[in-house]
Structure 1
């Protein structure tokens, strides 16, 4: 990949310019509940209360959460190793959990570039962990909401880090199920429209197809905590890839999406509640 001229905001002092954030610890947030389910430490009482209610009714929920994180790493590996992608736009990043996406991508090619996007104040507060790029590559963090694609696409951090004239991967991992079809499909379409041919969409989405009772527990507990969520059928998830060329094996449960790409535990279908898919923009 051609070298970019580094803009002023991208130089090492960027990490020192991350502003203080209002963490809003009095209410649960999906990124922090997910962090708690993964065994992380970046969560608060409201997040743990929501997570504990899920675990109480579905003891296997922590393993399912870890599987959802692991598939992101496998998708990144396949994008980099098989499809030669060296640029990533990760929207709905969540709280840093090693290995982060850029660590996987730059482990394959140190020159890879990653832009992380999230609107959770605690993710912003921990963004320094997302800016530990290799010298050859670059990472950036944008405090922005998926629901404001125009702001995201105009951000100088995005334009200064990624070359939108070259193929890149848009990764939407564990985020679309927090938005309704009416809201999320136009947003995803707008982001894809801004990307060149040869780019990819990597997406995971919650479902009740594989474990209806457990999925209803998780969905209900999220709603009780004030967190909107929408579980989709396989056909509902496939709709995100309309007009794109699906990579093998298509839209499948996360435990079935190239499990050979890591050495983690093999879960049965009823132990997960999300689909994964990867597709190329023609």
Structure 2
């Protein structure tokens, strides 16, 4: 009997088409996955940017053209008259100055308080640290509508109602900022602080000279988020402010609606576009430290 001969070359040639098909299938699957992700991101971007584009487009139309059916994305006769009417109807510069003052001081105050509190909860040992931190986190679950009445009564007792301080002082402490900075400080190595303490530095010097400079991206997150949130805040200024000279930008824009909402939609949206500019500028300037801070805070130290 003759034994069957084994040919390695024939086995290799027979498996080559299978491997080629597997590679082609894998490459096709990757491309389909990439296309699916890009399509999904495009849909999300459309829903996110679409209202902004429509707002800008409507602000460039004449009042009569705002109600054309079917609506057109690109105005047939673009005009800046709505923006001129915004400055004619309300004191834009005063409202913008009030908003900038309030949001700027709140952002700086939250960066300071969040940095100090976050460092204390992360690196210092003191009694009832865990219960106190849990209490801070619990305040995040209480909406501002629940606490606005006692806050109003306290501010009234202090004589701060209808002042810009009424908006600034209660907003300086931040539970979210404290939580964020605590997590950020926990990612930093303890050896840095221990080395500074061996050299004779106290807790304040360790924080100021060692940890605070490293926490700049985290503090940038707190500042940018605080600015964007309080620049657009409407509820607290509506309750705490009654004089026009203390109105912030969102409150000032309400008067553009006119009596019973009879104002021009183009003028209203022109005011909205103007109010978005400072927030967009702050976000663009703080985008890099914001991105770095979010990336770094995800690392476990």
| TM-score, reference length from structure 1 | 0.21
Q: Counting helix residues as a fraction of each chain, which structure ranks higher?
A: 2
Q: Counting strand residues as a fraction of each chain, which structure ranks higher?
A: 1
| TM-score, reference length from structure 2 | 0.20
Which is greater in Rg? Answer: 2
